[in-house]
Chain A
């Protein structure tokens, strides 16, 4: 495969090196800069030690959890549960760079797809819209909607990069769209920016002030380097600015935006939203569905207000505009409102009088043995409330996916005022 990219003079030498490497093959280029052999270690007798990443992984996870719960510590922060998020993707010529393999554009598209699915999983009542910047103009790829498939199809449809990038045009477009949404919704913008410059038709500072006044929370994820204007934008509007160093980091940064962010006090106007809880249509009943405009038999839902048929939930009834949800959709967000406290690490004591030995030799959740090599107590964590022991993997699973402590749930507690009786 010949590579005829033109590079400025100063980089001519690098070009030659890459041309030499061409002879080996595309698949080997992945290892040109990657010195994975340096991660190997040897033990005392010179044999290779297997790379144990689980401890590092767990330490990273605990650090992240500590950061997140440092602010929360006992108090409950109001979160923005009904979110209207616009994802702005920069398709300027900088997106065709190949420092992320195969190109920044392809990696962005892949991770945005995963992000969209995760977003709707964690925020079923929210909506996403897509905007792209190409040739200095911002285009709306999709309007605000709640169905992941339509967004992903629109995104994967056109993956081409060209021209300059314009931050102001994107912000103006998003501002126009987000002004139309109801006041109880949280307005957010997530910008994936790969360019190092922005060509704007006017004063971008004015646009930033306009966004700030409209309660837009803008966050930026940069793919090349840190830019002052992005940092300023995020600081003014209360968003997060981060720059990805590699593909894995980009994925982590993107997924950080999936759970609902803390709501800013001045922005949070609470409101009672009228919603419908449709019943499932009887098997064998025929109706013309309002979303596809064709006759459907059987599975579907009937809007309680206008009796129109819709195919899936959650959605807005196309005839009368009522928001239609089912109770599991609301229940998906309850774990944001009732988070579980992080578990405490148990210090590894090597004395034989360790009282822990008598208490628990196996993890309460999965029954895996908590003893490490040679019957010495291995690393484990404990829940503050129920005092049961859990292994590190259960700790991660419980806090990231399950959101229930098995120990606390398995202990009968006196019935307090329960909020959510259904």
Chain B
């Protein structure tokens, strides 16, 4: 059977890891309901699985307090004749069950913790890290493997506390040559997703009308990596790589960077507010003004 499999492995076999945003704080505020959204997504997954016999799909849910694997198409046994829920293809019965369990658990966790209403971001860094671990496992499985890519379906805004973790995941994906596509369905702009798609050579798109989401998904995000060179995809425009200063949070063109901890400031300071190093002096000279404990370690 191995010989048959290798014959079937053409260059357009893909593994799609879908990161689904299930943040209830976002979905309670949109015009489209989550179930309408889900029907677009499931039809899209069906389309991807139909493009090639050997395509694989893995779905990871990005919640507010947790992330988890929802569906793995390589684990579903064929011939599963359970009748699905109302109108949904039987193929995805297990997906829907697990998704419901996940959302219920996530909501319980939300009630246990007090949450800040200001920024209702989901745990994008967590699901990105899990997706990359799964893709790394696929790479280890031998030389015959589908070409992996990640698709983020995100609506929640960016959480600034996740910046370092998201950038780490992006650089790791760049090294593994895994493109991160992103489809942003929220209201504000997501700088994280734009940067992710730009750095990893993925596609970023923010569709304006959610009624036609299935159309955007199939025309832009369903193509495998080999076919992308023949298809016209949305080009990256206006990716803003300027930094924000730490003191005022405004975007700056020119700034000052601390050589110890790389924090960015818009004006000249005598002392770095992040690591406490006094500028222009070595740590030993500054020991009288800075406490002994901070001598060798930057403070956080």
Give the B-binding residues of A (Cβ under 8 A): 75-78, 81-82, 121, 184-185, 265-280, 283, 304-305, 322, 326-328, 330-335, 337-338, 363-368, 393-394, 397-398, 401-406, 409-412, 414-416, 418-422
Contact = CB atoms under 8 A, between A and B. Distances in A.
17 contacts: A77-B296, A81-B262, A268-B260, A268-B282, A270-B259, A270-B275, A327-B241, A328-B167, A330-B264, A334-B164, A365-B129, A394-B137, A404-B125, A409-B125, A412-B64, A420-B246, A421-B160
A78 B258 CA distance: 13
Nearest to B239: A280
Interface in B247-266: 249, 252-265
B51 interface: no
Given A280-B241, A411-B65, A420 B163 contact: yes
A122 to B, nearest CB: 10
Given A78-B298, A279-B241, A406-B126, 6 more contacts: A270-B281, A274-B255, A332-B171, A335-B168, A402-B129, A410-B68
Interface residues of B, number: 82
A322 B225 CA distance: 38
Name the prevailing secondary structure of the B interface residues: mixed
A282 to B, nearest CB: 9
Contacts of B127: 410
A398 B172 CA distance: 10
Nearest to A313: B241
Contacts of A270: 258-260, 272, 275, 277-283
Contacts of A75: 296-297
A326 B194 CA distance: 14
A118 to B, nearest CB: 10
A393 B136 contact: yes
Given A265-B283, A280-B239, A367-B72, A393 B255 contact: no
A305 B69 CA distance: 48
B151 interface: no
B297 to A, nearest CB: 5
A24 B259 CA distance: 59
Nearest to B261: A337
Nearest to B255: A275
Contacts of A421: 160-161, 163, 244, 246, 249
A185 B260 CA distance: 10
A275 B257 contact: yes
Nearest to B241: A326
A386 to B, nearest CB: 10
A152 B227 CA distance: 33
A305 B254 CA distance: 8
A419 B277 CA distance: 15
A404 B168 contact: yes
A273 B295 CA distance: 21
A418 B160 contact: yes
A333 B164 CA distance: 10
B282 A277 contact: no
B268 interface: yes
A273, A326, A420: residue with the most chain B Cβ atoms closer than 10 Å: A420
Contact of B259 (A271, A304, A305, A364): A271
Interface string B177-203: 000000000000001000100010000
Nearest to A75: B297
B129 A272 contact: no
A422 B133 contact: no
B136 A397 contact: yes
Contacts of B218: none
4 A-B pairs with the lowest CB-CB distances in the bound complex, closest first: A365-B133, A410-B126, A421-B160, A270-B277
B37 interface: no
Nearest to A272: B256
B136 A366 contact: yes
B242 interface: yes
A338 B231 CA distance: 40
Contacts of B115: 412
Contact of B109 (A269, A364, A412): A412
